[in-house]
Amino acid sequence: MQGIFHLRDVIDVEILQEIQDKFAEATGFAAVTVDYQGKPVTNYSNFSTFCKLIRLNNRCRELCEQSDAHGGLEAARTGNPSIYRCHTGLVDFAVPIIVQGQFLGSIMAGQVLVEESKLLTLDNIVKTVAGWEQNQEILDAYNEIPVIPFDKIIAGAEMMFLVSNYIVEKGIINIVQQELHNKNIKLMEEMKARIELEKALKDSELKTLQSQINPHFLFNALNTIGRLALIEKADRTQETVFLLAEMLRYTLKKVSQMVSLEDEVLHIERYLKIQSIRFGSRIKFNINIPDDAKDIRIPFMTLQPFIENAINHGLETKESGGTIKVDGIVSETDVIIHIYDDGIGISPNKLALIMKDKNSSFSGKNTTGIGISNVHQRLIHYYGPDYGVCIESQLNEGTKVQLRIPRQ
């Protein structure tokens, strides 16, 4: 339990006020609870007319607060109730409120007189005299203060000591329970996020593994098609088959691995070349990654979902097509990858759904199966909360994706 600096952090002041009022009513003592500086935390209970009058004077009120503060500190020093005389000679007692060694305040009570023999045994906490005796109204109020047996004062002090300890213990229990509750909520949220991330990773692995059915047959078939295309002098067909074979080889071999940025860029370049063959001049692309960023290790299939979605949901539906640009910027600590497209853009509501849904793409069409938010969560998982994906988009203008990765 940390960060407790004020009495209100531990004690329910409303409950304390009720207890204090009942105590004052039952015993005839005046009572108030003060902080470690002697300043009241509760309202005064059963305050004598004398004390009310004398506190109307600023200097006298300061001396009253000093008396309360010194009495409370003495109680804190001993760990037990402290019975003393205030600066006017009235008898008060202070019950310390201490939490884990930290003195937070006191329950102050008294404003009474005792028989002269007992009064002389008590020290004045604050010895300053403020000249209040010259005020007849205050002096008359002083003379009305009752004389109480000293044993009754001791009993009242011990009673409030027990009560204050109970209130403090109850307050500590409430604080500890609240801290445990907050920690449990935080732990559950972290566990939920971890479970969701692991599930998303397993789902993406499963989808990739499902494509591994008889890969040797698949590669042999593609090689056969490529050789036939070469024999038939179908150069573009041969190129397309070669690019597709390399993409499949990369996908089947790299699942669940960290890969170099260079490998990821080669993979999306092959994908873009195939799409350029498919769409002709409607799809253009430009990739510019600095050489000193190519060895950076990133999670497998980090870039492809954004490229694929840029084409399927940004450029394909745009009659004039468009351009995809992939740029890299290297700083002292990070590598920032920008993926731009000048397609149809994304609405704010749709963009919010994309980032919320860990398995979402821009629409229901077939994609890699790795959602945009999935990539974001994986980057956070591997590198921490300072890294991940940021997407900006304007309808009919295009979309900009930024991926921030640490420079290892």
What pLDDT, in 10s, does the model give residues 360-383? 444 444 444 457 778 888 899 889
- What is the C-alpha separation between 138 and 145, in angstroms, rounded? 11
Cα(394)–Cα(334) distance, rounded to whole angstroms? 27
Q: What b/e string do you get for 276-308 counting C-beta neighbours within 10 Å, with b at 16 or more?
A: eeeeeeebebebebeeebbebebbbbbbbbbbb
Which pLDDT value is given to residue 56? 87
Q: 305, 264 in Cβ contact below 8 A?
A: no
Question: Per mean pLDDT, which of 82-86, 163-167, 231-235, 304-308 is the most reliable?
Answer: 304-308
Task: Flag whether pLDDT at 359 surpasses 60.
Answer: no
The residue among 132 and 290 whose pLDDT is bigger is: 290
Which among 310, 369, 376 has a CA at the least distance from the CA of 360? 369
Domains and CATH numbers, the chain: 7-181 (3.30.450), 256-406 (3.30.565.10)
pLDDT at 38 over 60: yes
User: What integer pLDDT is reported at residue 357 of this predicted model?
Assistant: 59
Q: What is the pLDDT of residues 156-190, one digit of tens each?
A: 999 988 888 788 777 778 777 888 888 888 888 88
Identify the bridge partners of residue 406 per DSSP, sorted by sequence position.
Answer: 334
Which pLDDT belongs to residue 206? Answer: 55
Amino acid at the residue 297? R
Q: Whose CA is closest to 338, among 287, 266, 406?
A: 287
Query: Other CB atoms closer than 10 Å to residue 258's CB: what's the count?
Result: 12
Q: Cα–Cα distance between 59 and 77 in angstroms, integer?
A: 27
% of residues, the chain, pLDDT over 90? 25
Which residue did the predictor score with more confidence, 384 or 253? Answer: 384
